[in-house]
Chain A
């Protein structure tokens, strides 16, 4: 799990119609969080993990303490981390609970923005309950200002709910790929259950039953539950809307659909079978189809499970076990510092919230003056942005490992998702490979009409334009959403939003 944020969809138009509340989890009736009880909405609002803007300011980390697993997924090769929570083909350092506690406290003392610790892969944390809970017990005691989260395949969840509810658990993530055993049989070849290995459909049926039971038990106790699903074309892609509906009705507050990543060299069943991964467009279409039903989380980067840092950055190398052994940590002092930093961030976020509200009202007033007549003519446009974090456009095009994709429309700007790529220019010698990396970037940016970066070099300019993507370096260091709104306004004023770009190209 990587800095989870919901697609807050706090578009200006909607917020204004909703009775003047610009914040994303209150007010309007068509609010995505509307189905949640009040106490959960209060927890989610401006939470570092689920609020789109707050996630630029807070960090998370994972430790791997629990490498055992009690099931097999066809997209996992158990030489590597749990693919449900990390990128396939990645190996994390497995720590003992004592080492893990030490590492977490060292990171928390040095990176005050780190507020959430996750225990994820390799393996299933609840298949290793002793190691997982030993870590949680000690952290709840020594570092009560850190929130804990855990990700599980759900098989051992019902028997763990009691113990989970004793800790400072922020939320539980369950990976649910299906609610139908016939679909499950194509994803899970076996499970280990009651001292036996159970194959095929029978095993999948037990897994599904346990997942659903665990979900119900957690929400009954008021523990937040997020559901992850891996989209596997031809296996569960048609089925995931049903999964979304079922988990929502049982009280999950967020559903995150991630693309299958399957390459032969990962040695997974799907990788070797040549099972295709969904394209960025297919993924987005499914997320859109599900979001009518439920909150979708579109930011999941399927990061390294042991990554440390803020939004896509990884400072893990500063915190290797041998470096940590030498660190002296005065945690009580660090906790005071941390509280100050958190208060400062909260203040900044509040100011931003107010700004947004103000802008939304101003825009609505302006729209009312102009008259709504021409508004519906403007079509929505996808734009990509490169950023290092902080909510501003501050990454060079050639250095971007990923692009954030937003949709601009008359209703406002909304976050759609991340698209990963190989940086066009890693700098220095590897620039020779620039051409193929650029092809990859062009492919992941498909569907976008504008790309905004701090700087865009000369070389990629023409290929981008040829692919129908307008490069734009004029908004360097500006806040992302404001810059996108400004570009959208320019396009509208230039009359480019009345027809599809293909048509324009023909005319031109």
Chain B
């Protein structure tokens, strides 16, 4: 039973000192959880500590690969909103590019 840190981790160090089992360690390209040490905080805290402070939705997943913090749950930025603005940013970028070449 263990959680896992995946590639969207931004290496902010926040989770590392909180782990009651010292299961989290710095690694490249991002922090990792030692699956043998992680207990999902059972017996120590009500909530898993790493996923309670992690600012990045989706950076920490359970054994089934399900994110503990779902999209939009922390930032309030929904996937639809993100897509819309990504498109807007892309459009401005393209326009700037065309203005330069054209």
What is A's interface to B at a CB cutoff of 8 Å? 66-70, 72, 74, 78-79, 94, 122-123, 127-128, 130, 189-190, 192, 195-197, 264-265, 269, 272-273
Contacts and interface: CB of A to CB of B under 8 A. Distances in A.
Contacts of B49: 195
B13 A195 contact: no
Nearest to A122: B12
Contacts of A127: 14
Contacts of B74: 72, 189-190
A127 B10 CA distance: 17
Contacts of B46: 195-196
Contacts of B11: 67
Contacts of A196: 46-47, 52
Contacts, number: 65
Contacts of A130: 17
A66 B13 CA distance: 8
Contacts of B88: 264
B53 interface: yes
Contacts of B89: 264-265
A22 B82 CA distance: 55
B75 A72 contact: yes
A128 B13 CA distance: 9
Contacts of A122: 12
Contact of B17 (A68, A72, A78, A265): A68
Nearest to B44: A195
B55 A69 contact: yes
Given A72-B75, A196-B47, A78 B56 contact: yes
B75 A69 contact: no
4 nearest A-B pairs in the assembled complex, by CB-CB distance:
A68-B14, A78-B55, A192-B53, A68-B13
Interface residues of B, number: 25
Nearest to B82: A272
25 contacts: A66-B13, A67-B14, A68-B12, A68-B13, A68-B17, A69-B14, A69-B55, A78-B10, A78-B12, A78-B55, A78-B56, A79-B10, A122-B12, A123-B12, A128-B17, A189-B74, A189-B75, A190-B74, A192-B53, A195-B46, A195-B47, A196-B47, A264-B89, A269-B77, A272-B85
Interface of B: 10-14, 16-18, 45-47, 49, 52-53, 55-56, 74-77, 81-82, 85, 88-89
Contact of A69 (B12, B16, B52): B12
Contacts of A269: 75-77
A197 B12 contact: no
Contacts of B75: 72, 189, 269
A1 B70 CA distance: 35
Contact of B12 (A67, A74, A192): A67
A122 B55 CA distance: 13
Nearest to B16: A68
Contacts of A67: 11-14
A314 B55 CA distance: 30
A79 B18 CA distance: 20
Nearest to B89: A264
Contact of A123 (B13, B45, B76, B77): B13
A88 to B, nearest CB: 14
B12 to A, nearest CB: 5
Contacts of B45: 195
Specify which of B12, B74, B82 lies most central, judged by the most chain A CB atoms within 10 Å of its CB.
B12
Contacts of A190: 74
Given A68-B13, A69-B14, A264-B89, 5 more contacts: A94-B13, A122-B12, A190-B74, A195-B45, A197-B53
Contacts of B17: 68, 128, 130
A420 B70 CA distance: 38
A190 B54 CA distance: 11
B58 to A, nearest CB: 13
Contacts of A189: 74-76
Contacts of A195: 18, 45-47, 49, 52
Contacts of B76: 74, 189, 269
Contacts of B77: 269, 272
B81 to A, nearest CB: 6
Contacts of A264: 85, 88-89
B85 A70 contact: no
A72 B55 contact: yes
A192 B69 CA distance: 14
A269 B72 CA distance: 10
